[in-house]
Protein backbone atom coordinates (compact mmCIF):
# COMPACT_ATOMS: atom_id res chain seq x y z
CA UNK A 1 0.00 0.00 0.00
CA UNK A 2 1.49 3.34 -1.07
CA UNK A 3 0.91 6.56 0.84
CA UNK A 4 1.19 9.88 -1.02
CA UNK A 5 3.07 12.36 1.15
CA UNK A 6 1.80 15.91 1.15
CA UNK A 7 3.12 19.28 2.27
CA UNK A 8 0.91 22.35 2.61
CA UNK A 9 -1.93 20.20 1.32
CA UNK A 10 -0.14 19.46 -1.97
CA UNK A 11 1.70 16.32 -3.14
CA UNK A 12 5.34 16.34 -2.11
CA UNK A 13 6.54 15.55 -5.65
CA UNK A 14 4.72 18.55 -7.11
CA UNK A 15 6.10 20.90 -4.46
CA UNK A 16 9.63 19.57 -5.01
CA UNK A 17 9.37 20.02 -8.77
CA UNK A 18 8.05 23.60 -8.45
CA UNK A 19 10.89 24.46 -6.05
CA UNK A 20 13.36 23.04 -8.56
CA UNK A 21 11.87 25.11 -11.41
CA UNK A 22 11.96 28.29 -9.30
CA UNK A 23 15.54 27.59 -8.27
CA UNK A 24 16.58 27.23 -11.92
CA UNK A 25 15.00 30.61 -12.73
CA UNK A 26 16.92 32.17 -9.82
CA UNK A 27 20.15 30.60 -11.10
CA UNK A 28 19.52 32.05 -14.57
CA UNK A 29 19.13 35.44 -12.95
CA UNK A 30 22.31 35.08 -10.89
CA UNK A 31 24.29 33.77 -13.87
CA UNK A 32 23.90 37.08 -15.70
CA UNK A 33 24.31 39.29 -12.66
CA UNK A 34 27.56 40.83 -13.94
CA UNK A 35 27.00 41.10 -17.68
CA UNK A 36 23.22 41.44 -18.08
CA UNK A 37 21.56 44.84 -18.48
CA UNK A 38 20.06 46.09 -15.25
CA UNK A 39 22.54 44.24 -13.04
CA UNK A 40 21.24 43.28 -9.63
CA UNK A 41 17.91 45.03 -10.28
CA UNK A 42 17.20 42.67 -13.16
CA UNK A 43 18.23 39.77 -10.93
CA UNK A 44 15.66 40.87 -8.36
CA UNK A 45 12.98 40.87 -11.07
CA UNK A 46 14.01 37.32 -11.99
CA UNK A 47 13.89 36.28 -8.31
CA UNK A 48 10.41 37.75 -7.99
CA UNK A 49 9.31 35.72 -11.03
CA UNK A 50 10.81 32.60 -9.44
CA UNK A 51 8.89 33.15 -6.20
CA UNK A 52 5.66 33.64 -8.11
CA UNK A 53 6.18 30.34 -9.95
CA UNK A 54 5.98 28.47 -6.64
CA UNK A 55 2.20 29.03 -6.77
CA UNK A 56 1.69 28.28 -10.47
CA UNK A 57 -0.46 25.17 -9.82
CA UNK A 58 -2.82 26.58 -7.19
CA UNK A 59 -3.15 30.12 -8.63
CA UNK A 60 -2.10 29.91 -12.29
CA UNK A 61 -3.95 33.02 -13.49
CA UNK A 62 -2.64 35.22 -10.68
CA UNK A 63 0.92 33.93 -11.18
CA UNK A 64 0.73 34.67 -14.91
CA UNK A 65 -0.49 38.21 -14.20
CA UNK A 66 2.40 38.83 -11.77
CA UNK A 67 4.99 37.46 -14.19
CA UNK A 68 3.50 39.55 -17.02
CA UNK A 69 3.74 42.73 -14.92
CA UNK A 70 7.37 41.94 -14.04
CA UNK A 71 8.15 41.28 -17.69
CA UNK A 72 6.51 44.60 -18.62
CA UNK A 73 8.70 46.31 -16.03
CA UNK A 74 11.71 44.74 -17.69
CA UNK A 75 10.57 46.02 -21.09
CA UNK A 76 9.97 49.55 -19.78
CA UNK A 77 13.43 49.53 -18.22
CA UNK A 78 14.84 48.63 -21.64
CA UNK A 79 16.77 45.59 -20.49
CA UNK A 80 15.61 43.38 -23.36
CA UNK A 81 15.09 39.61 -23.16
CA UNK A 82 17.15 37.89 -20.44
CA UNK A 83 17.78 34.28 -19.47
CA UNK A 84 15.34 34.27 -16.56
CA UNK A 85 12.52 35.23 -18.97
CA UNK A 86 11.99 31.50 -19.36
CA UNK A 87 9.65 32.12 -16.38
CA UNK A 88 7.26 33.80 -18.83
CA UNK A 89 6.98 30.57 -20.85
CA UNK A 90 6.54 28.52 -17.66
CA UNK A 91 3.76 30.81 -16.45
CA UNK A 92 2.09 30.65 -19.88
CA UNK A 93 2.24 26.84 -19.81
CA UNK A 94 0.83 26.76 -16.28
CA UNK A 95 -2.15 29.02 -16.94
CA UNK A 96 -3.19 27.05 -20.04
CA UNK A 97 -2.87 23.72 -18.23
CA UNK A 98 -4.19 24.48 -14.75
CA UNK A 99 -6.63 27.37 -15.08
CA UNK A 100 -10.27 26.56 -14.44
CA UNK A 101 -11.28 28.30 -17.66
CA UNK A 102 -9.43 28.13 -20.97
CA UNK A 103 -10.33 31.79 -21.45
CA UNK A 104 -7.51 32.72 -19.06
CA UNK A 105 -5.08 30.77 -21.22
CA UNK A 106 -6.28 32.52 -24.38
CA UNK A 107 -5.84 35.95 -22.75
CA UNK A 108 -2.38 34.93 -21.56
CA UNK A 109 -1.52 33.89 -25.13
CA UNK A 110 -2.59 37.29 -26.48
CA UNK A 111 -0.50 39.09 -23.84
CA UNK A 112 2.43 36.81 -24.68
CA UNK A 113 2.08 37.69 -28.38
CA UNK A 114 2.33 41.39 -27.54
CA UNK A 115 5.33 40.65 -25.33
CA UNK A 116 6.99 38.77 -28.21
CA UNK A 117 6.80 41.86 -30.42
CA UNK A 118 8.13 44.14 -27.67
CA UNK A 119 10.96 41.75 -26.87
CA UNK A 120 11.89 41.46 -30.55
CA UNK A 121 12.03 45.23 -30.87
CA UNK A 122 14.49 45.43 -27.97
CA UNK A 123 16.70 42.64 -29.26
CA UNK A 124 20.01 43.94 -30.58
CA UNK A 125 21.71 42.03 -33.35
CA UNK A 126 22.31 41.63 -37.05
CA UNK A 127 18.97 39.84 -37.54
CA UNK A 128 15.91 41.94 -38.37
CA UNK A 129 13.45 42.47 -35.55
CA UNK A 130 10.65 40.73 -37.44
CA UNK A 131 12.73 37.57 -37.84
CA UNK A 132 13.39 37.58 -34.11
CA UNK A 133 9.67 38.11 -33.48
CA UNK A 134 8.86 35.09 -35.67
CA UNK A 135 11.35 32.96 -33.74
CA UNK A 136 10.03 34.09 -30.36
CA UNK A 137 6.47 33.63 -31.63
CA UNK A 138 7.14 30.05 -32.77
CA UNK A 139 8.64 29.14 -29.41
CA UNK A 140 5.79 30.78 -27.48
CA UNK A 141 3.14 29.23 -29.73
CA UNK A 142 4.70 25.79 -29.35
CA UNK A 143 4.62 26.13 -25.56
CA UNK A 144 0.97 27.24 -25.69
CA UNK A 145 -0.07 24.32 -27.95
CA UNK A 146 1.80 21.77 -25.82
CA UNK A 147 0.07 23.11 -22.71
CA UNK A 148 -3.30 22.93 -24.47
CA UNK A 149 -2.68 19.31 -25.45
CA UNK A 150 -1.65 18.41 -21.89
CA UNK A 151 -4.73 20.22 -20.53
CA UNK A 152 -7.00 18.28 -22.90
CA UNK A 153 -5.49 14.94 -21.89
CA UNK A 154 -5.66 15.89 -18.21
CA UNK A 155 -9.34 16.79 -18.43
CA UNK A 156 -10.02 13.62 -20.43
CA UNK A 157 -8.40 11.46 -17.75
CA UNK A 158 -10.34 13.28 -15.03
CA UNK A 159 -13.56 12.70 -17.00
CA UNK A 160 -12.80 8.99 -17.31
CA UNK A 161 -12.06 8.72 -13.59
CA UNK A 162 -15.27 10.55 -12.71
CA UNK A 163 -17.26 8.38 -15.12
CA UNK A 164 -15.73 5.21 -13.65
CA UNK A 165 -16.59 6.36 -10.13
CA UNK A 166 -20.14 7.21 -11.23
CA UNK A 167 -20.58 3.81 -12.86
CA UNK A 168 -19.27 2.10 -9.73
CA UNK A 169 -21.76 4.01 -7.58
CA UNK A 170 -24.56 3.15 -10.00
CA UNK A 171 -23.64 -0.55 -9.93
CA UNK A 172 -23.66 -0.54 -6.13
CA UNK A 173 -27.00 1.29 -6.10
CA UNK A 174 -28.48 -1.15 -8.64
CA UNK A 175 -27.23 -4.12 -6.61
CA UNK A 176 -28.75 -2.69 -3.42
CA UNK A 177 -31.99 -1.92 -5.25
CA UNK A 178 -32.09 -5.46 -6.67
CA UNK A 179 -31.54 -7.00 -3.24
CA UNK A 180 -34.11 -4.70 -1.61
CA UNK A 181 -36.63 -5.38 -4.37
CA UNK A 182 -36.14 -9.13 -4.13
CA UNK A 183 -36.50 -9.03 -0.35
CA UNK A 184 -39.72 -7.05 -0.68
CA UNK A 185 -40.97 -9.60 -3.19
CA UNK A 186 -40.08 -12.52 -0.91
CA UNK A 187 -41.80 -10.73 1.97
CA UNK A 188 -45.01 -10.43 -0.03
CA UNK A 189 -44.94 -14.11 -0.95
CA UNK A 190 -44.26 -15.24 2.60
CA UNK A 191 -46.94 -12.86 3.83
CA UNK A 192 -49.38 -14.71 1.58
CA UNK A 193 -48.34 -18.04 3.11
CA UNK A 194 -48.60 -16.77 6.69
CA UNK A 195 -51.95 -15.08 6.07
CA UNK A 196 -53.33 -18.35 4.64
CA UNK A 197 -52.08 -20.26 7.68
CA UNK A 198 -53.67 -17.79 10.06
CA UNK A 199 -57.01 -18.08 8.28
CA UNK A 200 -56.89 -21.89 8.52
CA UNK A 201 -56.01 -21.72 12.21
CA UNK A 202 -59.00 -19.46 12.92
CA UNK A 203 -61.38 -21.77 11.05
CA UNK A 204 -60.04 -24.88 12.79
CA UNK A 205 -60.10 -23.21 16.22
CA UNK A 206 -63.75 -22.17 15.74
CA UNK A 207 -64.61 -25.69 14.62
CA UNK A 208 -62.85 -27.22 17.62
CA UNK A 209 -64.74 -24.88 19.97
CA UNK A 210 -68.14 -25.95 18.60
CA UNK A 211 -67.22 -29.68 18.37
CA UNK A 212 -65.51 -29.93 21.75
CA UNK A 213 -68.64 -31.33 23.50
CA UNK A 214 -70.30 -33.10 20.53
CA UNK A 215 -67.30 -34.88 18.97
CA UNK A 216 -64.13 -34.71 21.08
CA UNK A 217 -62.14 -36.76 18.54
CA UNK A 218 -62.85 -34.30 15.76
CA UNK A 219 -62.06 -31.42 18.09
CA UNK A 220 -58.70 -33.00 19.02
CA UNK A 221 -57.88 -33.42 15.34
CA UNK A 222 -58.76 -29.76 14.68
CA UNK A 223 -56.60 -28.62 17.58
CA UNK A 224 -53.69 -30.67 16.21
CA UNK A 225 -54.10 -28.97 12.84
CA UNK A 226 -54.11 -25.58 14.59
CA UNK A 227 -50.90 -26.45 16.47
CA UNK A 228 -49.07 -27.76 13.39
CA UNK A 229 -50.20 -24.83 11.28
CA UNK A 230 -49.14 -22.38 13.99
CA UNK A 231 -45.66 -23.92 14.15
CA UNK A 232 -45.35 -23.68 10.40
CA UNK A 233 -46.62 -20.09 10.36
CA UNK A 234 -44.22 -19.15 13.18
CA UNK A 235 -41.29 -20.54 11.23
CA UNK A 236 -42.38 -18.66 8.11
CA UNK A 237 -42.78 -15.48 10.15
CA UNK A 238 -39.29 -15.89 11.59
CA UNK A 239 -37.87 -16.12 8.09
CA UNK A 240 -39.95 -13.12 7.05
CA UNK A 241 -38.48 -11.03 9.88
CA UNK A 242 -35.02 -12.23 8.88
CA UNK A 243 -35.59 -10.97 5.34
CA UNK A 244 -36.90 -7.58 6.45
CA UNK A 245 -34.48 -6.79 9.26
CA UNK A 246 -32.01 -5.05 6.90
CA UNK A 247 -34.61 -3.58 4.55
CA UNK A 248 -35.49 0.09 4.63
CA UNK A 249 -38.85 0.62 6.36
CA UNK A 250 -40.11 2.66 3.40
CA UNK A 251 -39.94 -0.49 1.23
CA UNK A 252 -42.71 -2.01 3.27
CA UNK A 253 -45.10 0.89 2.77
CA UNK A 254 -46.70 -0.45 -0.43
CA UNK A 255 -47.40 -3.77 1.25
CA UNK A 256 -49.05 -2.10 4.20
CA UNK A 257 -51.15 0.09 2.00
CA UNK A 258 -52.67 -2.61 -0.17
CA UNK A 259 -55.26 -3.60 2.38
CA UNK A 260 -55.16 -6.64 4.63
CA UNK A 261 -54.77 -10.31 4.08
CA UNK A 262 -53.41 -12.15 1.07
CA UNK A 263 -55.87 -10.84 -1.49
CA UNK A 264 -53.74 -7.89 -2.39
CA UNK A 265 -50.75 -10.15 -2.90
CA UNK A 266 -52.29 -13.04 -4.73
CA UNK A 267 -54.15 -10.71 -7.07
CA UNK A 268 -50.84 -10.08 -8.89
CA UNK A 269 -50.06 -13.10 -11.06
CA UNK A 270 -46.34 -12.47 -10.65
CA UNK A 271 -46.61 -12.85 -6.86
CA UNK A 272 -49.20 -15.60 -6.60
CA UNK A 273 -48.22 -18.70 -4.63
CA UNK A 274 -46.70 -21.35 -6.87
CA UNK A 275 -46.03 -25.00 -6.04
CA UNK A 276 -43.95 -27.80 -7.50
CA UNK A 277 -47.08 -29.24 -9.08
CA UNK A 278 -46.88 -26.37 -11.58
CA UNK A 279 -43.27 -27.20 -12.47
CA UNK A 280 -44.17 -29.32 -15.55
CA UNK A 281 -46.15 -26.41 -17.01
CA UNK A 282 -43.12 -24.14 -16.46
CA UNK A 283 -40.86 -26.63 -18.24
CA UNK A 284 -43.31 -26.83 -21.13
CA UNK A 285 -43.21 -23.06 -21.53
CA UNK A 286 -39.44 -23.10 -21.81
CA UNK A 287 -39.58 -26.02 -24.22
CA UNK A 288 -41.92 -23.95 -26.35
CA UNK A 289 -39.39 -21.09 -26.16
CA UNK A 290 -36.73 -23.33 -27.68
CA UNK A 291 -34.91 -25.11 -24.84
CA UNK A 292 -34.54 -28.89 -24.81
CA UNK A 293 -35.41 -29.55 -21.19
CA UNK A 294 -35.10 -32.91 -19.46
CA UNK A 295 -36.62 -33.34 -16.02
CA UNK A 296 -36.00 -36.05 -13.42
CA UNK A 297 -36.98 -36.53 -9.80
CA UNK A 298 -35.06 -38.79 -7.42
CA UNK A 299 -35.84 -39.79 -3.86
CA UNK A 300 -39.13 -39.92 -2.02
CA UNK A 301 -40.92 -36.54 -2.19
CA UNK A 302 -41.99 -35.27 1.21
CA UNK A 303 -44.53 -32.55 2.03
CA UNK A 304 -42.74 -29.18 1.85
CA UNK A 305 -43.69 -25.80 3.27
CA UNK A 306 -45.30 -23.55 0.64
CA UNK A 307 -42.50 -21.00 0.93
CA UNK A 308 -39.84 -23.62 0.29
CA UNK A 309 -41.80 -24.97 -2.70
CA UNK A 310 -42.01 -21.44 -4.05
CA UNK A 311 -38.23 -21.03 -3.64
CA UNK A 312 -37.57 -24.24 -5.58
CA UNK A 313 -39.97 -23.13 -8.30
CA UNK A 314 -38.30 -19.71 -8.60
CA UNK A 315 -34.79 -21.21 -8.69
CA UNK A 316 -35.80 -23.46 -11.58
CA UNK A 317 -37.47 -20.52 -13.32
CA UNK A 318 -34.41 -18.28 -12.92
CA UNK A 319 -32.03 -21.02 -14.01
CA UNK A 320 -34.01 -21.80 -17.17
CA UNK A 321 -34.34 -18.09 -17.96
CA UNK A 322 -30.57 -17.62 -17.69
CA UNK A 323 -30.00 -20.70 -19.85
CA UNK A 324 -32.31 -19.30 -22.52
CA UNK A 325 -30.65 -15.88 -22.38
CA UNK A 326 -27.03 -17.03 -22.36
CA UNK A 327 -26.90 -20.57 -23.76
CA UNK A 328 -29.51 -19.70 -26.38
CA UNK A 329 -32.30 -21.43 -28.24
CA UNK A 330 -31.61 -25.12 -28.82
CA UNK A 331 -29.49 -25.60 -25.71
CA UNK A 332 -30.07 -28.77 -23.73
CA UNK A 333 -30.88 -28.30 -20.05
CA UNK A 334 -31.18 -31.07 -17.47
CA UNK A 335 -33.29 -30.25 -14.40
CA UNK A 336 -32.88 -32.64 -11.46
CA UNK A 337 -34.91 -32.50 -8.27
CA UNK A 338 -33.40 -34.68 -5.56
CA UNK A 339 -35.33 -35.33 -2.36
CA UNK A 340 -33.28 -36.43 0.63
CA UNK A 341 -33.90 -37.09 4.25
CA UNK A 342 -32.63 -33.72 5.43
CA UNK A 343 -32.58 -31.54 2.33
CA UNK A 344 -33.93 -31.11 -1.16
CA UNK A 345 -31.52 -30.31 -3.99
CA UNK A 346 -32.37 -28.78 -7.35
CA UNK A 347 -29.75 -28.85 -10.08
CA UNK A 348 -29.83 -27.23 -13.54
CA UNK A 349 -27.12 -28.06 -16.08
CA UNK A 350 -26.99 -26.72 -19.64
CA UNK A 351 -24.55 -27.66 -22.40
CA UNK A 352 -24.17 -24.08 -23.68
CA UNK A 353 -24.75 -25.20 -27.27
CA UNK A 354 -27.51 -23.01 -28.59
CA UNK A 355 -28.20 -19.97 -30.68
CA UNK A 356 -29.62 -16.57 -29.72
CA UNK A 357 -33.33 -16.82 -28.90
CA UNK A 358 -35.81 -15.60 -31.48
CA UNK A 359 -38.31 -14.36 -28.89
CA UNK A 360 -37.58 -12.75 -25.49
CA UNK A 361 -37.13 -15.15 -22.61
CA UNK A 362 -39.70 -15.09 -19.81
CA UNK A 363 -38.66 -12.93 -16.91
CA UNK A 364 -37.84 -14.62 -13.64
CA UNK A 365 -36.55 -11.96 -11.27
CA UNK A 366 -33.03 -10.64 -10.64
CA UNK A 367 -30.95 -13.63 -11.68
CA UNK A 368 -28.30 -14.92 -9.31
CA UNK A 369 -28.98 -12.10 -6.83
CA UNK A 370 -32.60 -13.20 -6.49
CA UNK A 371 -31.71 -16.89 -6.26
CA UNK A 372 -29.15 -16.30 -3.52
CA UNK A 373 -31.56 -14.16 -1.53
CA UNK A 374 -34.31 -16.78 -1.80
CA UNK A 375 -32.05 -19.66 -0.87
CA UNK A 376 -30.48 -17.78 2.06
CA UNK A 377 -33.94 -17.24 3.58
CA UNK A 378 -34.14 -21.00 4.19
CA UNK A 379 -30.48 -21.29 5.31
CA UNK A 380 -29.64 -23.02 2.05
CA UNK A 381 -26.65 -22.81 -0.26
CA UNK A 382 -26.33 -21.91 -3.93
CA UNK A 383 -23.46 -22.79 -6.27
CA UNK A 384 -23.39 -21.39 -9.80
CA UNK A 385 -20.63 -21.30 -12.38
CA UNK A 386 -19.33 -22.49 -15.74
CA UNK A 387 -18.55 -26.15 -16.44
CA UNK A 388 -15.22 -27.38 -17.80
CA UNK A 389 -16.99 -29.19 -20.64
CA UNK A 390 -18.96 -26.04 -21.54
CA UNK A 391 -22.24 -24.58 -20.40
CA UNK A 392 -23.39 -23.53 -16.96
CA UNK A 393 -24.48 -25.26 -13.77
CA UNK A 394 -26.68 -24.07 -10.93
CA UNK A 395 -27.21 -26.13 -7.78
CA UNK A 396 -29.32 -25.07 -4.82
CA UNK A 397 -29.53 -27.09 -1.61
CA UNK A 398 -32.37 -26.31 0.79
CA UNK A 399 -32.48 -28.03 4.20
CA UNK A 400 -35.84 -29.40 5.24
CA UNK A 401 -37.58 -27.90 8.30
CA UNK A 402 -36.78 -29.56 11.61
CA UNK A 403 -40.47 -29.97 12.39
CA UNK A 404 -42.38 -31.19 9.35
CA UNK A 405 -45.45 -29.17 8.62
CA UNK A 406 -48.89 -30.39 7.66
CA UNK A 407 -49.30 -28.35 4.51
CA UNK A 408 -51.31 -31.02 2.72
CA UNK A 409 -53.57 -31.55 5.69
CA UNK A 410 -54.12 -27.81 6.09
CA UNK A 411 -54.94 -27.35 2.45
CA UNK A 412 -57.51 -30.15 2.66
CA UNK A 413 -59.12 -28.55 5.67
Per-residue pLDDT of the chain (413 residues; tens, 9 = 90+): 444 576 666 677 878 888 888 888 888 878 766 677 777 888 888 889 888 888 888 889 999 999 988 888 888 887 877 888 888 999 999 999 888 888 888 998 898 888 888 888 877 766 777 888 888 889 888 999 999 999 899 889 989 999 999 999 998 998 888 888 777 767 666 655 565 567 667 767 877 787 788 888 878 887 887 787 777 777 767 766 665 565 444 444 444 334 433 333 333 434 445 678 888 888 888 787 678 899 999 988 888 888 888 888 888 888 888 887 777 777 899 999 999 888 999 999 998 887 654 444 444 445 677 678 778 888 899 998 888 888 889 999 999 876 444 333 333 33
Q: Give just the sign of the alpha carbon dihedral 144, 146, 148, 151.
A: negative
As beta bridge partners, residue 343 has: 399
| Rounded Cα–Cα distance for residues 72 and 77 (Å) | 9
Report strand pairing: 392-399 vs 343-350: antiparallel
Amino acid sequence: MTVDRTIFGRPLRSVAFDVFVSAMVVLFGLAGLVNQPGGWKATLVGAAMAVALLFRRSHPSAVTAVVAVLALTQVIAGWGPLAFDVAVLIALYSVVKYADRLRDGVLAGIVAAVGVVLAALQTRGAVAWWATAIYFGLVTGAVWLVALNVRTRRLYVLTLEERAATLEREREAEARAAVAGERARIARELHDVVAHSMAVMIVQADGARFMLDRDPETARHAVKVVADTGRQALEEMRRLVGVLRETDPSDAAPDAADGSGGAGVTADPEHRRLALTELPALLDRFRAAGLRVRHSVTGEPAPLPPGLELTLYRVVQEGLTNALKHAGVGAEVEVTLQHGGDAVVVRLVDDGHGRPPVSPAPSGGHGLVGMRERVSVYDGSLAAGPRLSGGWQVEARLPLPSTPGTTTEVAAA
